[in-house]
């Protein structure tokens, strides 16, 4: 019996050692694997060219990914406009920094089908929704508030054309004055007899 008691005690002590040692070893391994407490400060990349930003990130053992391009008037092509995470954030080695870069290409937008297809109010709503600015309307003889054409600068626009977003568009609309005078209209008398 003494021998059985000794075996039971050894087993209990072995189980206690395993219960204490396994979490301790696992936590130590996890700290090393995740580099717990070791962080790198993200540099401010905004305003840098792509090559300069890439070099600054590589020197800190960080990676990057371009997630978007935006057109900003006056910005150089391939200039960092935004970054995530922001500058001075603490991240782990190898983290990907998401960059939004500038583009030299002005975004274009399609003219919605408003010429000879809509009233003034509807055309204004559709053009504003498409991102265009509206200039002062030009009146021509014709059906009141009917859109006869669109102008951008000196150019006459057609439905479906592409122009830069934010361009100023002028609507050429009818003034309500008929092109023909009613006295010029000839009525065929035999029809009314």
User: What is the overall mean pLDDT for the chain?
Assistant: 87
Mean pLDDT of 92-113: 90
Bond before 85 cis per omega within 30 degrees: yes
Could you report the per-residue pLDDT of 152-190, keeping only the tens digit for each? 988 999 999 999 888 999 999 998 886 554 444 444 445
Could you report the per-residue pLDDT of 28-86, keeping only the tens digit for each? 888 777 767 788 999 999 999 999 999 999 999 999 999 998 888 888 888 999 999 99
CATH label, 108-174, candidates 3.30.10.20, 3.90.340.10, 3.40.50.620, 3.40.50.150: 3.30.10.20
Q: Which of 169, 165, 168 is nearest to 72 (CA)?
A: 165
Cα separation of 17 and 1, whole Å?
24
CA distances from 9 to 4, 22, 66, 85, 146 (A): 9, 20, 62, 55, 99
Cα separation of 124 and 162, whole Å?
17
Q: Which fold has domain 40-103?
A: Trypsin Inhibitor V; Chain A (3.30.10)
Question: Which 8-state DSSP code applies to residue 49?
Answer: B
Same fold across 40-103 and 108-174: yes
Q: For residue 1, what pLDDT is reported?
A: 64
- For residues 162 and 155, the answer to whether their CB atoms sit within 8 Å is no
Report the Cα–Cα distance between both ends of the chain, in Å, rounded: 135
Please report, for the chain, the start and end positions of each structural domain, with discontinuous segments joined by +.
1-35, 40-103, 108-174
């Amino acid at each position: 019996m003494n021998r059985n008691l000794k075996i039971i005690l050894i087993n209990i002590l072995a189980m206690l050692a395993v219960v204490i040692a396994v979490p301790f070893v696992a936590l130590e391994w996890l700290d090393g694997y995740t580099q717990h407490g070791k962080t790198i400060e993200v540099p401010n990349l905004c305003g840098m060219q792509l090559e300069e930003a890439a070099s600054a990130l590589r020197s800190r053992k960080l990676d990057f990914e371009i997630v978007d391009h935006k057109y900003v008037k006056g910005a150089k092509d391939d200039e960092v406009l935004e970054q995530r995470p922001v500058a001075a954030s603490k991240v782990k080695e190898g983290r990907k920094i998401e960059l939004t870069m500038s583009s030299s290409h002005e975004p274009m937008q399609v003219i919605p089908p408003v010429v000879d297809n809509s009233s003034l109010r509807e055309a204004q709503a559709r053009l504003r929704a498409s991102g265009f600015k509206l200039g002062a309307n030009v009146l021509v003889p014709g059906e009141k508030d009917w859109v006869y054409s669109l102008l951008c600068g000196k150019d006459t626009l057609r439905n479906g054309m592409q122009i830069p977003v934010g361009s100023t568009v002028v609507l050429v609309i009818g003034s309500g004055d008929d092109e023909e005078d009613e006295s010029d209209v000839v009525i065929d008398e035999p029809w009314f007899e």
